[in-house]
Structure 1
Amino acid sequence: MNKGSETSGIKLALGAPFGFELNAFLSPLGIPCQSPPWGYVAGVDLRQGHIVWEHKNGTIRDSAPLPIPMPLGVPSLGGMVTTGGGVAFLSGTLDYYLRAYDVRTGARLWQARLPAGGQATPMTYADSNGKQYVLVVAGGHGSLGTKQGDSVVAYSLP
């Protein structure tokens, strides 16, 4: 995570008598100031009001001084999109992956490396023949320190 990026720092809140600072709260080592895990993905039973499954989400591969994919769970910026077939896609983690999860069990079904940070909610669509795709913008996020990019990445679903 990069505290000195071009999108970090004090920002004006137009029309308001105050501003805000957009930075991650990091230690001198460049990691969050609380103990890991730093991010989860979870399935919730809304009828019963309880968490059905929960897993650490993401690795420190792209935010640590050494690119070691330790599964500590990382902060995420962006939500999930869920298909009618019960697969949820998430791309907002600080490591550059799009991941697919089974919404019933929480099992990670698939993951693919993105060319830059995927700090966005993926989308899904079907073409005129009924073939379904998942799409994500890999643009990065300066205040989180992820690599910036300008890619739109699409995958066809089976």
Structure 2
Amino acid sequence: MDISRHLGLLRRYALVLTRDRERADDLVQETALRALEGSHGFQEGRDVKGWLLAIVHNAHVSRCRRRRTESEAEALLAAQAGDAHVPDQTDRIALNETMRAMMALPEDQRAVLTLVAIDGMSYRDAADCLGIPLGTLMSRLGRARAALRAAGQTPASHLRLVR
């Protein structure tokens, strides 16, 4: 199938849709690629010009949707970023001290503490994830929390107590 003789028509239509030469050229290029990739589905006897113009139109609509979705996502991220605040120096120091104390824990206690206290997993799910009995998980968690409390790094509001 020879689409080269229709490139002028495609470019004019793309220019009308996009109102920008570069975007129109990109749209024609995308159309040519789609036409070549989909040429096996083209039925002989069908109007090639109409088929190509439909591809230009559909590609343009897809691009507009994509741009709108990206713009909405960017606006949402910008709004969320505006709500965020930089922690003050004392918060950063406390967080670093807590992380240092946590990293000093034995690996089995760190894993349990991370799954339950940080990731919010239930005791049962964390035990299943680690392949250990529930009682073992609770024992490790209790020891990890006690070690952090002894190091003075754990505000009670951040970690649930195991009773």
- Of structures 1 and 2, the one scoring higher in RCO (CA 8 A, sep 6+) is 1
TM-score by length of 2: 0.20
**Structure with the higher fraction of residues in strand conformation:** 1
**Rg bigger for which structure?**
2
Higher helix share: 2
